[in-house]
Chains A and B, each alone.
Chain A
Amino acid sequence: MSRDPHRAGAGRLTRTYLRVGIMNEMQYRVNFLMEMVQSLLQIGTALAVLGIVFSHTDTLAGWNRSELLAVIGVYTLVRGLVNMFVQPNMERVVTEIREGKLDYALTKPADSQVLVSIRDVRFWQITDVVVGIVVVVVALVQLRATLQPSHVASFVVMLAVGTVSIYSFWLILAAAAFWLIRINEVQELFNGLYRAGQYPVGIYPSWLKFGLTFLVPLAFAVTVPAEAATGRLSWSAAGIAVAATCVLVGFSRWFWLRGLRRYNGASA
């Protein structure tokens, strides 16, 4: 089977859209300050809650205050990555399916899933990424953790795996619009579910833990990278995270293609 010579490669396409997206965002520099204020307010609230929780206890399901601080840092960091790259694209897909405007993406000579996943970048959400990294570093200093290269490498790998799993989950949610049409509220659903990630999934009852691991992959997105950062991660947990993410990527791809077959478009 020969490859269409006019079809754009995913790597080159991603770089081009990323560059254009960042240039676009750079025009609105005051937004950086606004996002920074919002990030600081949110982390301030999370720390206040942590303070109140730990004014009543010393450990929460085996996690001490500094370890939970690392979880909050990873939660903020992943939220920044998702808000920067994933959420704006998926919200746009949901709107375009409803309004029948997805045709504009489908008629382009590129893979539809790749194209709809890279068109928007909210670069200033990087403030959450920076704040998240700072909080993780503070937590590690409090834990007096000796930072080994293997911990850093496993943290980075698990962070990438977790972000991909969240992307796949979001793609499934967005593709549900092919059947349900009006699901503008899907972002509220995601934001609500994502909040569960600010605590390690181990504290939840077993049925909820299963749901937050295999249905909504928060365990892989937040808890596993936090375990990697604090040196609590086992090889088996890492293996399960990678395997489950591969399955999720495959399923979301299948679900997207299946949904596309139902799409009529506004001009059809």
Chain B
Amino acid sequence: MPDFFTVLLEFVRYGILSFGGGVAMLSEMSRSLVTERHWLSTREFTDGFALGQFVPGPNMLAMMFYGFRAAGLAGAFAGFLGMFLPGAIASSLLARVWERVKRSKWSWAIRAALLPIGLGLSAGGVLSLTRAAFSSLNLQTAIVAGVLTLLAAFLIYSKGFSTMLVILLTGLVGALLLH
């Protein structure tokens, strides 16, 4: 079992590199945590992300689930601190100096460059999540789950449903149909 600092270092890496928000790191996480380090199974990776949608606050609190699986309670806090602290510190510092740098040419150029990169990385994260969620299913359950995925996206994007409600609905349908 890895110790606190090993888990912390791994998640600090995510915390520093996750431009575009936490979802941008999902692809890297599944590669590193599941394939390379074997701290999690593919199933735990997707289940943990799903559980993170259930709790209030930032949905990347799923990191605490991953840390918990890797190294117990200490690991949960290591996962949290590593993922959340670098961005929070950087945001606080930037809030201080922003009034001075915001009119500069390079700050506009950096913003223009970072937004599409974050978007592309997030799309990669969604692809990894999809792959992980569907990889262990047989054809029949994969089709039902695929319909659930599209339905969930539609209800949230077009109908303005709360994600909490959608997660409860998909869980209920899954309990009835997906086994």
A and B are partners in one complex rather than unrelated chains:
no
Residues of B within 8 A of A (CB): none
Name A's B-contacting residues (CB within 8 A): none
